[in-house]
Amino acid sequence: MVPIARTKEELAANMRDILQSRSPPGLVRPRSMEAFKSHVDGSVVTNQKELNEHNRKNDVIDIREWGNDSYCDLAAKKEREEFYLGTSKKEQRARIKAFSEATQKVEQGYKPNQGEQ
């Protein structure tokens, strides 16, 4: 339980404590992180800004975006799920088209080389 504030400063401190205790990391207080070497491009990432730039540059995402945490971009998560599961109409049409084209090539006598897959 939060003690009753007697001054504006105490009230501000109480509100800050409440917000920091209930909010996801990164929204109220910056997330601390240890420096690490990227296995994607070998660069050293030391803070959140560098991590965001690294992810944009290399077209990768933070693994936490795949989780169910409240700071996850839900629209992006839904789009990824639809892509990998093939549940969106757009993905279903693309997969049907690719399958049809592959079937036509096989019917026309296409045979892959030994090294192709």
Summarised one tens digit per residue, pLDDT across range 75-109 is 777 877 887 787 888 888 888 999 999 999 999 99
Q: What are the sequence ranges of the domains in the chain?
A: 1-29, 33-72, 73-111
Point out the least confidently predicted range of 24-28, 52-56, 73-77: 24-28
> What's the mean per-residue pLDDT of the chain?
76
Residue 63 has pLDDT above 80, yes or no: no
What integer pLDDT is reported at residue 28 of this predicted model? Answer: 46
pLDDT digits (tens, 9 = 90+) for 10-24: 767 766 776 656 545
Assign 3-class secondary structure to the chain. Answer: CCCCCCCHHHHHHHHHHHHHHHCCCCCCCCCCCCCEECCCCCCEECCHHHHHHHHHHHCCCCHHHHCCCCCCCHHHHHHHHHHHHCCCHHHHHHHHHHHHHHHHHHHCCCCCCCCCC
